[in-house]
């Protein structure tokens, strides 16, 4: 390769010929059909599609939350096929971050404690995890809300805490499934800008499932899921 040529960054997620089938009565329903999809370090991708198209199913597979029927998914070069549930859990903790339409914060813990949780699971000390959680609260503009429980926060604030929790481990890739779906337009725009800013700052790849064309247009790469197939959108 010449000095003028640029290599694509290393792949953090690779899906090859991925199929997913579900049993419904006596029938096998094929939800995903031969999906090929690669996410490189620092990239941003949007996956569009109608409800029931298979977008969330694909995200669960990419995140190691479900098993493929055939094909292969690799995270940072590691095939998921042969991993135990405990090994998958460790891989998710070290390599991936997740954020959903609903925040899934633990209601009995403060914002800071929720953010620190993935680090504590990893084995870091309470002091170290708490310090990093406080730093991430500042990154998402909520340093004054550290001691507030989720029930004391607005919807947008809860999603920002969820985003900080997803990124506190500095994952290779953030998987975001309709992350702005429960937010009003102004708050959704602020949330999108925050995700994109952090994507650029810490070089974490971003994969967003969305119905919103305006969100998709902000991503480097756009895909449409239809009839179990994934196609690039120009």
The residue ranking higher by pLDDT, 186 or 136, is: 136
Task: Using the predicted structure, report yes or no on whether residue 6 has a pLDDT greater than 60.
Answer: no
The residue ranking higher by pLDDT, 181 or 93, is: 93
> How far apart, in whole angstroms, are the C-alpha atoms of residue 194 and residue 200?
10
pLDDT of res. 17: 96
Q: Which residues contact 125 (CB under 8 A, 6 or more apart)?
A: none
Q: Running DSSP on this structure, what letter comes out for residue 79?
A: E
Task: Using the predicted structure, report yes or no on whether residue 1 has a pLDDT greater than 60.
Answer: no
pLDDT of res. 9: 61
Percent of the chain's residues with pLDDT above 70: 96
Helix (H, G, I), strand (E, B) or coil at 68: coil
What's the pTM?
0.86
Class at the top of the CATH hierarchy for domain 11-233: alpha beta
> Mean pLDDT over residues 87-107, rounded?
87
pLDDT of res. 8: 55
Tokens for 211?
Answer: 């119905």
| Residue extents of the structural domains in the chain | 11-233
Percent of the chain's residues with pLDDT above 90: 53
pLDDT class for 231, splitting at 50, 70, 90? Answer: very high
Alpha helices in 1-97 (DSSP H): 55-62, 85-95
């Amino acid at each position: 390769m010449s000095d003028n040529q640029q290599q694509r960054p290393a792949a953090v997620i690779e899906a090859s010929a991925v199929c997913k089938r579900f049993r419904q009565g006596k029938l096998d329903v094929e939800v995903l059909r031969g999906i090929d999809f690669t996410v490189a370090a620092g990239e941003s991708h949007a996956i569009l599609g109608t409800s029931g198209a298979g977008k969330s199913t694909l995200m669960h597979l990419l995140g190691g939350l479900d098993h493929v029927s055939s094909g292969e998914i690799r995270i940072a070069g590691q095939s998921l096929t042969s991993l135990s549930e405990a090994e998958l859990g460790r891989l998710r903790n070290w390599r991936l971050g997740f954020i959903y339409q609903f925040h899934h914060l633990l209601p009995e813990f403060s914002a800071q404690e929720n953010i620190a949780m993935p680090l504590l699971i990893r084995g870091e000390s309470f002091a170290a995890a708490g310090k990093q959680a406080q730093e991430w609260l500042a990154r998402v503009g909520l340093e004054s809300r550290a001691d507030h429980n989720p029930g004391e926060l607005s919807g947008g604030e809860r999603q920002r805490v969820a985003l900080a929790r997803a990124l506190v481990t500095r994952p290779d890739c953030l998987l975001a499934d309709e992350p702005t779906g429960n937010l009003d337009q102004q708050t959704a725009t602020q949330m999108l800008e925050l995700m994109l800013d952090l994507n650029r700052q810490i070089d974490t790849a971003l994969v967003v499932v969305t119905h919103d064309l305006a969100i998709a247009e902000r991503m480097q790469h756009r895909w449409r899921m239809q009839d179990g197939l994934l196609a690039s959108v120009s």
